[in-house]
Amino acid sequence: MKTVHSVAELREAVGQGRRNGASIGFVPTMGNLHMGHISLIERARQQCGFVVASIFVNPLQFGPNEDLATYPRTLAADQEKLEQAGCDLLFAPSVEEMYPDGMTLQTVVSVPAVSEGLCGASRPGHFDGVSTVVSKLFNMVQPDVAVFGQKDYQQLAVIRTMVRDLNIPVQIIGQPTARAEDGLALSSRNGYLTEQERTTAPAIYRTLQRLGQAIEAGREDHQTLVDQGLSELQAAGLRPDYLEIRDADTLGEPRASSDRLLIVVAAYLGKTRLLDNLVIERRPS
Ligand SMILES: Nc1ncnc2c1ncn2[C@@H]1O[C@H](COP(=O)(O)OP(=O)(O)OP(=O)(O)O)[C@@H](O)[C@H]1O
Ligand SMILES: CC(C)(CO)[C@@H](O)C(=O)[O-]
Ligand code: BAL
């Protein structure tokens, strides 16, 4: 696997892949790779002859009091994992390469509606940072297919909307969440957890499953379920940011006609903010 750091080298290497007749698959990441990331690479590999990953900790999507400075940067280990997973090319640009005129003068891509609420409410400006960097990366790589994780469900919805609204010629694939044996969604930020916090963290998925089972059994009293779920999380030692039940396709409030519901949660364990979600097929009434 080749690693490049500049847009010019990236274009040259992707162009070579394309000239060899391969379709281009792309997996954007912030690095510190785990098996969740690797499942995205493998998904891209299934469909494309040439697979590109990027590692870029994007300052534009971090709030002023967030963990930009401490976010784990583990390039050498990541390169090894990507190589083993069959990735062809890694793009690992500097901040200067991505934002040569600085970030204040950067044109911003902003996706309305779907980026508001949930993480958009707790992290103002976050999704503008994500949609801006992902549209830049799409223009740099020009992939046929891009794979994102369903763990970051709202992010995936924002990207799908952006691609549709801006007519970007890329197929977006959502890959199911890879989990540890105890159900905790794999996440780079799990590395921040103390041993004690790590034993508490699976309560998030347990709560999602319990709510999911209740909905599958026909419960429609969503607010009661959410209140119980919040209490469960708190009792386990988590500090919920939000726990909500939404329409899984629009991310709006569920309607009588919603046939897929999203149970979505963000919760703090100490200083670490963890995300997870579950999609439930609703029983026809
Ligand atoms: N457990 C997982 N299963 C499947 N995909 C995942 C998983 N975790 C992350 N991804 C996906 O990997 C891509 C890159 O995400 P990122 O590098 O931010 O990893 P992360 O583990 O989510 O990090 P963080 O802890 O910072 O949120 C995104 O599309 C994200 O949804
Ligand atoms: C999509 C992404 C790579 C954009 O910086 C990031 O938000 C992530 O890793 O999920
Ligand atoms: N995986 C989401 C990227 C972020 O938290 O900034």
- Specify the ligand 1 atom closest to the Cα of 151: 31
> Which pLDDT score is estimated for 282?
84
Please name the fold of domain 188-280.
Pantoate--beta-alanine Ligase; Chain: A,domain 2 (3.30.1300)
d(CA 239, CA 220): 25
Residue 174 among known ligand-binding residues:
no
String of DSSP letters for 94-144: -HHHH-TT-STT------TTTTSSTHHHHSTTHHHHHHHHHHHHHHHH--S
In the reported structure, the alpha carbon of residue 160 is separated from the centroid of ligand 2 by a whole-number distance in angstroms of 14
For 227, other C-beta atoms within 10 Å of its C-beta total 12
User: Taking 70 as the threshold, does the pLDDT of residue 283 lie above it?
Assistant: no
User: Taking 80 as the threshold, does the pLDDT of residue 183 lie above it?
Assistant: yes
- Specify the ligand 2 atom closest to the Cα of 28: 3
Average pLDDT over residues 166-179: 98
Does domain 2-175 fall under CATH 3.40.50.620? My reply is yes
> Which pLDDT score is estimated for 142?
98
Q: Report the share of the chain in percent with pLDDT over 90.
A: 99
φ and ψ at 31, to 5 degrees? 85, -165
Note the ipTM here: 0.98
Average pLDDT over residues 56-85: 98
User: Taking 90 as the threshold, does the pLDDT of residue 150 lie above it?
Assistant: yes
Is the distance from the beta carbon of residue 187 to the nearest atom of ligand 3 less than 6 Å? no
Q: Which of 41, 61, 187, 264 to mutate to test the pocket of ligand 1 (most atoms within 8 A of CB)?
A: 187
> Which pLDDT score is estimated for 199?
98
Is the distance from the beta carbon of residue 187 to the nearest atom of ligand 1 less than 6 Å? yes
> Which pLDDT score is estimated for 284?
61
Tell me the domain boundaries of the chain.
Answer: 2-175, 188-280
Residue 118 among known ligand-binding residues:
no
- Equal fold, 2-175 vs 188-280: no
- pLDDT tens digit string along 93-140? 999 999 999 999 999 999 999 999 999 999 999 999 999 999 999 999
Q: Whose CA is nearest to atom 10 of ligand 2?
A: 29
- pLDDT tens digit string along 10-45? 999 999 999 999 999 999 999 999 999 999 999 999
User: Taking 80 as the threshold, does the pLDDT of residue 285 lie above it?
Assistant: no
